[in-house]
Structure 1
Amino acid sequence: MRRLLCVLAVLVSWHVQAQQTIEPAVFQALSSALGAQQAGDLAVARSRLESALAQTENRTLERALLEQRLGYLAIEAQRNAEAIDWLRKALAHNQLEAQAASQDRRNLAQLLAQAGQDAEAVSLLESELASGTLPLETRQLLVQLYNRLERYSKAIPLAEQVVLADPGVDVVWYQLLAGMNYRLQRYQAAEKWFRVLLRRDPGNAQAWRQLAGVQSLDRRQVDAAATLRLAYEGGIRLSDTDLENLVSLQVAAGAPWQAARLLEVLMQQELLAPSRNRNERLAQLWQQARDHDRAQASWEALARRTGQSDHWMRVASIQLERGQWPDLLESLAQARTTASAAQRQTIDQWADYARRVMDQG
């Protein structure tokens, strides 16, 4: 808002230059209102402008100048809703000098953005952008508005202009670029900006997690694990929950095979310690992904370590589905040793079915 008030002084100087082109009474009202404003009496300044406004005709330069000034008075009085109304009216006449009108549109857009009227603010700034009169600072506002409206494909090129113009800009711009590309599923572009962010702030644990996350979503699980290993070796201590959440990200994205592969590599690299629960989850993910070989191998390894009937029944269910009858009978025999009564009933049914099929064959 202070920036808007600085603009006010620029516009006042323009009014002085325009004294030869507007009615003397209006010029006098503008000058008198300026004096009252400078004395801190905004109510008197407003009253003088409104009195002059009542004497002017619609669609005239004089009316536009008075409404413009009322708009900036409202800004100084922190009455933004009124300021928006006055500036809209002033611009609607299409009478203001081009440079002044351009500045008014930018200032109005800022007020609209503060009021949450993003679509209208974007429309104003887009017209300025198209005419080549939108400075870099205001382009940043347009990026923020596009982001709020989830119009990421429009925001990204402007955000790139911001960081190219000033590579030392606040890191939030790199986070924004990475995040918007991520939302568009442009994972390699998101990776690029996360890497830039990490060059500037290598201790940013969240950025390391996010980088590994986009690599994982890009189906590059080994790269994701390598990124996490690099972070670990650089002193970044990610919690088990952080790493498991990356696996869950793949599950939520409907990619159980990718989730299983990531979990497998994380355990192989000892970033996650192997445990019964994690090995069970790995086997379940392979099975969910319909990777029968890996699922069967995972459940069988668990079953041989634990001897649990539940694990042997998991092995048997895959063998049943795949028609591996002799192996199925062996697994059922292993399961029977610790099986419950309900499990024994299932074991007997599966074993009888397997024998009948083998006899028929």
Structure 2
Amino acid sequence: MRALVMLLMLWGAAVQAQSIDPAAFAALNKAQQAQQSGDYSAAGNSLLAALEQASDGSIEQALVEQRLGYLAIARDRNAEAIGWLRKALSREQLDAEAASQDRRNLAQLLAAEGQAREAAALLETELAAGSLPRENRRLLVQLYNQLEQYSKALPLAEEVVREEPGVEAVWYQLLVGMNYRLQRYEAAERWLKVLLKREPGNAEYWRQLAGMQSLDKRQRAAAGTLRLAYEAGVRFKAQDLDNLVALQVNAGAPWQAARLLEALLKRQLLAANGARQERLAQLWQQARDHDRAKSAWTALARSSGRADHWLRVAAIQLNQGDWEELLSSLELARPAASAEQRRTLNQWASYARQAQEEG
């Protein structure tokens, strides 16, 4: 807002450059003097009186409305300022430079009042005309991000970091986030690596990098990234790593989730407890990778001895028609089975023997 107030100091020269009615010019000067002395009420009264005398659609009308807008800014009345500047611009009487500045200032006011769409439209006009300073381009990026117009925002955001590589980290984070939302995972990864060069010990950046690689279906690369971070002294919470696996599940990719979990367990980044081994077996089964699911359930059943785990193995063998293996698994399940589980064991065993005889 400071930039808007500073523009008031330049206003007198802008008016003198235009041919206006002497009475209107006198009223504008009187209002400026009153404002400079802190008498906003007198400044407003002078301008409103001049507005009543101005012809509809005239340059005088536009200049008085413009001045009322900047007076409202000085009084911290943003909504009022927006109304006056809109009117002044609608007259199409202001010179090109003044109108351009007013559009940029109006955009800042609209952005501050949460009217992102109109603010962005005004700045787009200035951008197309080649008269959008760096500060306003940054604002336009933020507006596009709010409006979820990421494809428009990205080129401008990239300009920001090219022009000033040492810019605040939030700009690189913005590039990561927008690329992620557009599912441009490799581009997001590239900007995360820039952030990691700045802050190599930032665990969140490492976690996000692995997440992007995982979403890009490069599970081994994701696990390798986490291992590299771990070897560099960065420590992750187990919950963070479990969440990376859950990310794939929520995305409807159980096979990718299983590959990632398997890699994390193999690299000892996650403890291979019973719950995670069971989760791995479930994921392979959800992914319909029956061989891997059977192998995972078998390893778990052998370590736990639980009947329900052996029944999981047996269910896969039943579907595959592996009768000998099925009968073996059923016998291994029997010692720890409940009465209800034994009934299932007996039924499956009977079916398997009958199938063998018929075969």
* TM tier, smaller: over 0.9
Aligned letter for 2:311? M
Paired position in structure 1 for 2:213: 215
Paired position in structure 2 for 1:129: 127
User: Could you tell me whether the CA contact under 8 Å between 1:250 and 1:256 is conserved in 2?
Assistant: yes
How far apart, in 2, do the equivalents of 1:342 and 1:51 lie? 93
Q: Report the alpha carbon displacement of residue 11 of structure 1 after superposing the two structures with TM.
A: 2.8
Paired position in structure 1 for 2:144: 146
Q: Aligned-pair RMSD on alpha carbons? A: 0.9
Provide TM-score, normalisation by structure 2: 0.98
Matched, 1:162 2:168: no
User: Could you tell me whether the CA contact under 8 Å between 1:11 and 1:100 is conserved in 2?
Assistant: no
Paired position in structure 2 for 1:200: 198
How far apart, in 2, do the equivalents of 1:261 and 1:34 lie? 71
Paired position in structure 2 for 1:12: 12
How far apart, in 2, do the equivalents of 1:233 and 1:28 lie? 75
Paired position in structure 2 for 1:181: 179
How far apart, in 2, do the equivalents of 1:13 and 1:201 lie? 49
Paired position in structure 2 for 1:65: 63
How far apart, in 1, do the equivalents of 2:12 and 2:298 lie? 83
1:109 aligned residue (107, 110, 116): 107
1:317-332 mapped onto 2 (5 Å cutoff): 317-332=315-330
3-state SS of 1:203 partner: coil
Aligned letter for 2:171? W
How far apart, in 1, do the equivalents of 2:80 and 2:166 lie? 38
How far apart, in 2, do the equivalents of 1:10 and 1:206 lie? 47
Paired position in structure 2 for 1:237: 235
Q: Give the % identical residues.
A: 63
Q: Report the alpha carbon displacement of residue 349 of structure 1 after superposing the two structures with TM.
A: 1.3
Q: Report the alpha carbon displacement of residue 8 of structure 1 after superposing the two structures with TM.
A: 2.3
User: Could you tell me whether the CA contact under 8 Å between 1:329 and 1:351 is conserved in 2?
Assistant: yes
How far apart, in 2, do the equivalents of 1:27 and 1:293 lie? 88
Q: Report the alpha carbon displacement of residue 197 of structure 1 after superposing the two structures with TM.
A: 1.1
How far apart, in 2, do the equivalents of 1:12 and 1:256 lie? 68
How far apart, in 1, do the equivalents of 2:23 and 2:108 lie? 32
Aligned letter for 1:110? Q
Q: Report the alpha carbon displacement of residue 203 of structure 1 after superposing the two structures with TM.
A: 2.2
Paired position in structure 2 for 1:24: 22
Aligned letter for 2:152? K
Which segments of 5 or more consecutive residues in structure 1 lack a partner in the other structure? none
1:333-348 mapped onto 2 (5 Å cutoff): 333-348=331-346
Q: What number of residue pairs does the alignment pair up?
A: 359
Paired position in structure 2 for 1:307: 305
User: Could you tell me whether the CA contact under 8 Å between 1:221 and 1:262 is conserved in 2?
Assistant: yes
Paired position in structure 2 for 1:91: 89
Aligned letter for 1:79? R
How far apart, in 2, do the equivalents of 1:270 and 1:237 lie? 13
- Provide closer, same or farther for how the CA distance between residues 201 and 8 of structure 1 changes in structure 2, counting only shifts above 3 A: farther
Aligned letter for 1:343? Q
Matched, 1:275 2:273: yes
* Structure 1 residues 68-112: Cα deviation after superposition (integer angstroms, max 9, x where no partner): 010011011111000000000000001101011001001101111
Provide TM-score, normalisation by structure 1: 0.98
3-state SS of 2:17 partner: helix
Q: Report the alpha carbon displacement of residue 306 of structure 1 after superposing the two structures with TM.
A: 1.3
3-state SS of 2:336 partner: coil
Paired position in structure 1 for 2:76: 78
Aligned letter for 1:236? V
Paired position in structure 2 for 1:259: 257
Matched, 1:120 2:118: yes
Paired position in structure 2 for 1:38: 36
How far apart, in 1, do the equivalents of 2:113 and 2:323 lie? 70
How far apart, in 2, do the equivalents of 1:214 and 1:274 lie? 24
User: Could you tell me whether the CA contact under 8 Å between 1:212 and 1:224 is conserved in 2?
Assistant: yes
Which segments of 5 or more consecutive residues in structure 2 lack a partner in the other structure? none
Q: Report the alpha carbon displacement of residue 17 of structure 1 after superposing the two structures with TM.
A: 3.1
